[in-house]
Structure 1
Amino acid sequence: MFDFEEAEKMKRLYLFAIFVTAAAALVISLQTTKAQDVKYSHSEYFEKYEGTSTCLGCHREEAEHFFHSQHYQWKGNAPNIVNSDGAKLGKMNTFNDFCTGPRGNWIGIVKNSRGEVLSKGCSACHAGKGLFPSETMDKAQLENIDCLICHASGYRRDLYQDDAGDYEWKPILWKNQEGLDSVAKRISAPTRAMCLRCHSASGGGSNYKRGDLEYTLADPGRDFDVHMASDGKNMQCVSCHAGEKHRVLGRGADLSGTDSPGKLLTCDSTDCHGAPPHKSAVLNRHTESVNCTVCHIPKFARDIPTDMARDWSRPVYNEEADKYTASIKLEKDVTPVYAWFNGNTRAYLPGKPVEKLPDGSVAMMIPQGSRDDPKAKIFAFKLHKGRLPLLAGRNWLIPITVEHFFANGQIDPAVKSAAKETYALDNISYSWIDTTRYMGIFHGVQPKANALKCADCHGTNGRFDWKALGYRGNPMQLKHPPRTKLP
């Protein structure tokens, strides 16, 4: 007997199959048409990408500008470091309390006991192909510049070792010329995602270092950042930070060198919010002594935790990753600390005796300014605590060659190797000491409805430590203006 129910079921399945096939064909057709119609920004300038030499054919002057920039040299003029004595400073000749520094950690592949790659060196976040930056500009150094890491949206690279044992960062498509040519022609100004490749990943993990540079900023909602939200201003990093001749505008409070000395990056410039920025006279009076970040960035590390303390004296083994790390304290949704800042910083410099703060910790990066300084305002900061080795007899901090430590967990040889690399010293003795670093918080600006209210600072349980800021107490309770001399 003919089964009408089964026949109807088969009919529906058949029609559905026809629909799916037709839909798939339509999608393929549209994709093919779209691919054929796409014209990348550099599709007419070259046929075959042969590395940076292809870029230099038209952009040699830009490459020379970039060679001298902080993004390539990792050091620069340091007029805002009060104890710089005119020296150029940066990652290359200072160190920090995160992964400490690139010397001795520059490039290489470190694997764990399972053969899995743990680290590839600090050069992973350098806009070069692996050569250590030189102060002498030559053909090799110019061709070492990796233009695509900042200017090609689909570009990805990895570290490869040749037969001679030398390492180089290459496009992952280096054996696929057609694919590489396609990617190399997708040239644009740097997007947020391109900048975050390095600036969010620094310090050993996503958002570990800065705290206010989360991967979320690649495409944030307006409640996360009003400036960079795609449904808000949709500003790119370069909207604020692009300077002339590949020099970047802006300087964080804990950065040594600056690409654009004398050129301030502020919210109240005529290109942005202007001064005064508010309709309220009371709020405008506050801006004379309070930076915009204080009220408009109430929290940081809102999506992704950030490293708030790193103790290198206590190695920790992660069994899942088969990797050793320092003891790291991660925190999320962090309230900033607040301090006066006049644009200058006192830094710890290698080969100098440490200066201690009242709590006994070493001052790594300390903002300068006070309530009586007319150039200073109260800023929002991430306060990072560390613990680093201190050279006996000289009171110099010692960095750490962290790469092989990740695999074997042996901190003593990592310290002594760094002492040899940094100070040319053998057979050293050392102890451990706490460190303190202030890091400016500048990203993650909230909608004005989420800005701090009066009671958040002036209430009974307000977030300001008034005495630490130079006041006898809460100015609202003491009834005196914020910038009067100390009574």
Structure 2
Amino acid sequence: MSPVILLRRLLIPVLLLFIPAVVPAVAQVPPKGPHVPGQVGSKPPGGTADHGKFEALKQDFKSGPEVTKACLGCHTEASHQVMKTLHWNWDYTNQRTGQRLGKKNVINDFCASVTSNEPRCTSCHAGYGWKDATFDFGKPENVDCLICHDRSATYWKNPTGAGHPLYTPIMRDGQVVTPAPDLAKAAQSVGLPGRENCGACHFYGGGGDGVKHGSLDSSLLAPGKQLDVHMDAKGLNFACTACHVTQKHQWDGSRYDVHARDDKGQPKPGQRRDVATCESCHGLKPHKSWSVTDLRLNAHIDKIACQTCHVPSFARGGVPTKMRWDWSTSGRLRDGKPFQIRDDKGRPIYESIKGDYLLAENVMPEYHWFNGEIIYANAERVFDPAKAPIPINPISGSPDDPKARIWPFKVMTGKQPYDSVQNHFVYLHVFGPTDAAYWRGFNWDKSISAGMAAMGLPWSGKFDFIETKMFWPQTHMVAPKEQAVKCGECHRTDGRLTTLAGFYMPGRDSARWVDLIGLSLIGLALAGAVGHATMRLLFGRRKETHS
């Protein structure tokens, strides 16, 4: 072992006592999973009403809107509250950047965009009937109460039904292949949302289980402690609403406006805070002992997000996440028909309608400075193709930014169409009954033209494919503390934070003055230890002689 490496290994434990944590440098939607009882939300489970006894719900409901109309007979303000939320409008203006966001406005590197693809995409909308731009956002009966409140585990939306469930079963050869939900049973079962309610959409974003987020998938329906300490079905058993607190159907926690840090920390007992942050429960000094280790870990809070250490990897529950999507290879046919290629586990890795995929499990995050500000892509943003891969949602933050901390991310890469003359992203029409939909006609010119027309935007008529990347903050699948990232996984030359520049980190970086201070501290510590031992020895002998 070289002297330099030995020196660093000796220095790190000592330096960590005295050096700040970061020193800036100079210069398809399937049915919901099984009902998991006893989940703990922001409100205690149970209640004073048995909806199974309500005469208004003992009907032969023919549609979802009929159920909602019955709900509104008692819950008079519910639809009006929902209509003010991001879950309903898919439209949001970021107050910090002024940018208009929301699912119906932004572009991603999965299926690209919602507009012109509504009947498919709005199977995850909290409403009924959003099939095109004529949808009535002001009609109370269009709100879907059951998708969030059904506790029968039998209600689900038709993946291509514009938010409606099936109303008649799908039959094949005289047999029921897919049953239609029993709307009366679902209506009489209603209660506070559980993980299976939220997960019916959020676990399946991007077209499949675990595809999009990385740390949100069906393994969280009834996870063990090793997968998530908060959602552990036999432990804390948190529902999503335990952290994503709601008031008048407004939830805190959004990838459009992320709380990169929460300096207010833990509130006073009994004080309500509608903030989905670690600090809102654990405070600003979450490591409670007076040990040297805990003191140093608490010192890291200023510059390192809790998730950076406590989400050591994502896609840990046996469900892979999609890490890459290459649209440029799509459109290949066999005997004039679309086809799939599957891996040795039976998972699609190529589809004619989508192209090539890269799936992964147990993925170590990428780490970046992040202050919560994200600028999302749309067709108005011009970029330089020579600088590919183009970030679809570039994040902000740096070591000297007081609002920034080191955060873990899933970085999704892709290759997708863009306007090769005007150098901006394009909206795609992929789902629909005509050949203009790419999944039917496999014609990019028609697909892009239809997508841009639906947005009311011009394009040059010329396209190519460009490499992209997209940042997804990781905040779920919180591991037990014993599995948190260890000090040595970062504080070394080839550690997790190797690619982060602009600051000094013990064990990773070398600085002569720091090494000298470290040597001096070690020398003083050794001298103190030897001196202490010598004094004890001398005084011990004197005591024996005196006796």
Does structure 1 residue 267 correspond to structure 2 residue 288? no
Q: Which whole-Å CA distance do the structure 1 matches of 2:181 and 2:195 have between them?
A: 27
- The 5-angstrom pairing of residues 272-287 of structure 1 reads 272-278=281-287, 279=289, 280-287=294-301
Query: 2:155 matched to which residue of 1?
Result: 156
Which of 317, 322, 326 matches 1:307?
322
- Counterpart contact for 1:340–1:469, Cα < 8 Å: no
Deviation of residue 200 (structure 1)? Answer: 0.9
Aligned CA distance change for structure 1 residues 377 and 304 (closer, same or farther; 3 Å): same
Q: 302, 307, 317: which is aligned to 1:288?
A: 302
Task: Determine whether 1:347 maps to 2:376.
Answer: yes
CA contact (8 A) 1:73 1:133 kept: no
Given candidates 300, 318, 322, the residue that maps to 2:339 is 318
Change (3 A) 1:291 1:42: same
SS of residue matched to 1:295: helix
Match of 1:72 in 2: 88
Question: 2:297 corresponds to which letter in structure 1?
Answer: L
405 and 277 in structure 1: CA distance in 2 versus 1, 3 angstrom threshold:
same
Length-normalised TM-score, structure 1: 0.77
1:327 to 1:275, Cα distance in 2 relative to 1, 3 A: same
User: How far apart, CA to CA, are the structure 2 residues paired with 1:313 and 1:207?
Assistant: 23
* Aligned residue identity for 2:123: A
CA shift for structure 1 position 423? 4.2
Partner amino acid for 1:284? N
Find out whether 1:42 has 2:51 as its counterpart.
yes
The match for 2:473 is: 440
1:98 aligns with 2:97: no
Question: 2-side partners of 1:123 and 1:285: how far apart?
Answer: 45
Residue aligning to 2:69: 53
Q: TM-score, normalised by structure 2?
A: 0.69
Q: C-alpha displacement at 1:159, in angstroms?
A: 4.2
Paired AA for residue 266 in structure 1: T
8 Å CA contact retained: 1:173, 1:179? no
1:192/1:171 Cα in 2 relative to 1: closer, same or farther (>3 Å)?
Answer: same
The answer for the alignment partner of 1:170 in structure 2 is 165
Change (3 A) 1:390 1:187: same
Q: Alpha-carbon deviation of 1:474? A: 5.0
Which runs of structure 2 are paired with 1:415-430 in the superposition (5 Å)?
415-425=448-458, 428-430=461-463
Output the CA distance in 1 between the equivalents of 2:366 and 2:155: 37
Tell whether the 8 Å contact from 2:87 to 2:126 is kept in structure 1 after alignment.
Answer: yes
Unaligned 5+ runs, structure 1: 1-38, 108-120, 257-261, 482-487
Distance 1:353 1:463, change over 3 A: same
CA RMSD of superposed structures (Å): 3.1
Q: Provide, for residues 288-336 of structure 1, a one-character-per-residue CA deviation record: whole Å limited to 9, x for no partner.
A: 1100111111110112111111121211653479852232211111110
Alpha-carbon displacement from aligned partner over 1:121-172 (angstroms, at most 9, x marks no partner): 101111111225889753xx211111101100234245499xxxx9671354
Q: CA–CA distance in 2 between the matches of 1:253 and 1:178?
A: 33
* Gap change, CA 1:386 and 1:136, over 3 Å in 2: same
Q: Which residue of 2 aligns with 1:126?
A: 125
Residues 55, 177 of structure 1: CA spacing in aligned structure 2 closer, same or farther, 3 A cutoff? Answer: farther
How much has 1:242 moved relative to structure 2? Answer: 2.3
Q: 1:464 to 1:178 in 2, by over 3 A?
A: closer
**Mapped partners of 1:75, 1:307: distance in 2:** 26
1:335 counterpart letter in structure 2: M
Verify the 8 A CA contact 1:339 1:469 in the aligned structure 2.
Answer: no
In structure 2, the CA distance between the partners of 1:183 and 1:391, relative to structure 1 (3 Å rule), is: same
Question: CA offset at residue 236 of structure 1?
Answer: 0.4
> Compared with structure 1, are the counterparts of its residues 177 and 413 closer, same or farther at alpha carbon in structure 2 (3 Å cutoff)?
closer
In structure 2, how many angstroms separate the alpha carbons of the residues matched to 1:427 and 1:477? 49
Query: Which residue of the partner structure matches residue 413 of structure 1?
Result: 446
How far apart in 1 are the matches of 2:356 and 2:400? Answer: 39
Alignment-derived partner of residue 364 in structure 2: 335
Distance between the aligned counterparts of 1:436 and 1:216, measured in 2? 26
CA–CA separation in structure 2 for the residues paired with 1:168 and 1:289: 42
* Partner amino acid, structure 1, of 2:209: S
Cα distance in structure 2, aligned partners of 1:295 and 1:386: 27
CA distance in 1, matches of 2:50, 2:429: 42
| Residue of structure 2 aligned with 1:393, choices 421, 433, 442 | 421
The 3 A distance-change label for structure 1 pair 376 and 431 is same
- 2:211 aligned residue: 208
